[in-house]
Amino acid sequence: MINPDYRSVSSGTTGHAEVIQVTFDAEVLPYEDLITIFMTSHDPTTLNRQGADHGTQYRSIILYHDAAQKMTVERILEDLKNVFPQPIVTEVVPLDQFYPAEKYHQNYYNNNSYAGYCRVVIDPKIKKLRDAYSDRLKEEV
């Protein structure tokens, strides 16, 4: 499906995964660190599931842009395989096409931080991320 809407993706019938595309400065945060942070801030061992959300659209996936990124990801996954009690099931595939979410779903947490889902599900994840990687976080302005 070309340019699916959020409702279609969340149905689990399109084959798409809910992802973000990160723009970063490798001088500030190397790609290796970005991937390591991603892999250790979610559960990469649960197939088609993140927390209470389940379906193929919630699979752990890394979409790489080039061969160098692919090699970096594969090396990091190999390094992390003994960190988790279960096998890592994260898919590693080339980025073919990225479709941005509709405007109302972009920057969702910042725009809805007081919503129940954000407070119960996302807030603990952000706390864990801040606790583990506070040395790499930029101070809010």
pLDDT along the chain (141 residues), means of 10: 90 92 93 95 92 91 97 97 95 96 90 93 91 82 53
Per-residue pLDDT tens for 70-107? 999 999 999 999 999 999 999 999 999 999 989 988 89
The count of residues in the chain is 141
Reading the block at residue 127, the tokens are 């706390």
CA distance 128 to 63: 24
DSSP letter string, 35-86? HHHHHHSS-TTSTTEETTEESGGG--EEEESSHHHHHHHHHHHHHHTTTSSS
Q: Which pLDDT value is given to residue 61?
A: 97
Domains of the chain: 6-101 (3.30.1060.10), 107-141 (no CATH)
Q: Which pLDDT value is given to residue 118?
A: 92
Q: Which pLDDT value is given to residue 50?
A: 86
Q: Which pLDDT value is given to residue 52?
A: 82
CA distance 79 to 26: 21
Reading the block at residue 130, the tokens are 């801040």
Q: Which pLDDT value is given to residue 23?
A: 93
CA distance 58 to 97: 17
CB 77 within 8 Å of CB 39: yes
Tokens 């920057």 found at: 107
